[in-house]
Structure formats: C-alpha cells, structure tokens
Structure 1
Amino acid sequence: MSEPTVAEITDKIYASLQADNAEIDEHIVTLKQALAREGAKEAVFDPAKLAHNNRSGRKLMQAYFRQRGVAVKFSA
C-alpha cells in the first residue's frame, strides 16, 4: 500500500473537522509525515471547507496544528 499524499490527508482532516474533530490528532501526525516526504513546509487548507470559517476558527486551527509541529496556511 502506498503512503497517503498531503491532499488525501487534507481531505481526511476536513471530514474530521466536520465530525467534531474525530481522530484529528492521528490525521495531524500522518499529515506531518506526508509533508516531510513531499518536502513541503506547510499544509494549505481551503477556508470554505472548514467547520468554523471565521478568523477565530482559523487561528485556533493554526495554533492547534502548530503545537503538533505542522504549519497551516489558508488559500485565498
């Protein structure tokens, strides 16, 4: 079985956020590994797909991911 891509894991994170953060920590660990494999420095998320698409929701998400070693950026 091949390793999941950043895009696949990002989709799982969107689903997890919609499901009240179910398994979010496991997805963050997998995302961190995929970012390292692909040589990316940060994960990019579409704010329109977030459960709480407001400034405080985005900042909370960035802080939570940063504490777990993943930099988050939002697409325009």
Structure 2
Amino acid sequence: MSDPTVAEATEAIYAALQADNAGLDEGIASLKAAMAREGVKEAVFDPARLAQNNRSGRKLMQAYFRQRGVKVAFEG
C-alpha cells in the first residue's frame, strides 16, 4: 500500500472530525508524514467542512494539531 498524499490525509481528517474524532490522531500522524514527504509547511483546511466552524473551534483545532507538530491554516 502506498503512503497517502497530503490531500488524502486531509480527507481522512475531515472524515475523522465528522465521526466524533475517531481516528483523528492517526490521521494527524499520516498528514504529518505526508507533509514531510511533499515538503509542505502547513496543512490547509476548508472551514466550511469543519464540525465547529467558528473561531473557537478553529483555534482549538490549530492548538491540537500544533501540539502534534502540524501547522494549520484555513482557506478564505
């Protein structure tokens, strides 16, 4: 099985967020590895696809991902 791309890992994170964070830590680890392989410095997410699309929810997500070594930005 091939390693996931950043886009595939990002989709897996969206799915984990919709499933009450089931598998989120594994998704973050996959995203971090994919970012390292592709030379990407920050993960970009669409706020409209988040479970909590408000400032508090976005800041919480950024903090959680930052603790795991992934810088998060939001589109728009």
The alignment's TM-score, normalised by the length of structure 1, stands at: 0.98
- Counterpart of 1:27? 27
Gap regions ≥5 residues in structure 2? none
Percent identity, aligned pairs only, is 75
Q: Give the 5 Å matches for 1:1-76.
A: 1-76=1-76
Distance 2:7 2:48 in 1: 16
Report the 3-state secondary structure (helix = DSSP H, G, I; strand = E; otherwise coil) of the residue aligned with 2:56: helix
Distance 2:24 2:3 in 1: 18
How many equivalent residue pairs? 76
Instruction: Give the root-mean-square deviation of aligned CA atoms.
Output: 0.5
The alignment's TM-score, normalised by the length of structure 2, stands at: 0.98
Kindly provide the amino acid, as one letter, of the partner of residue 45 in structure 1: F
Moved over 3 A (4+): none
Gap regions ≥5 residues in structure 1? none
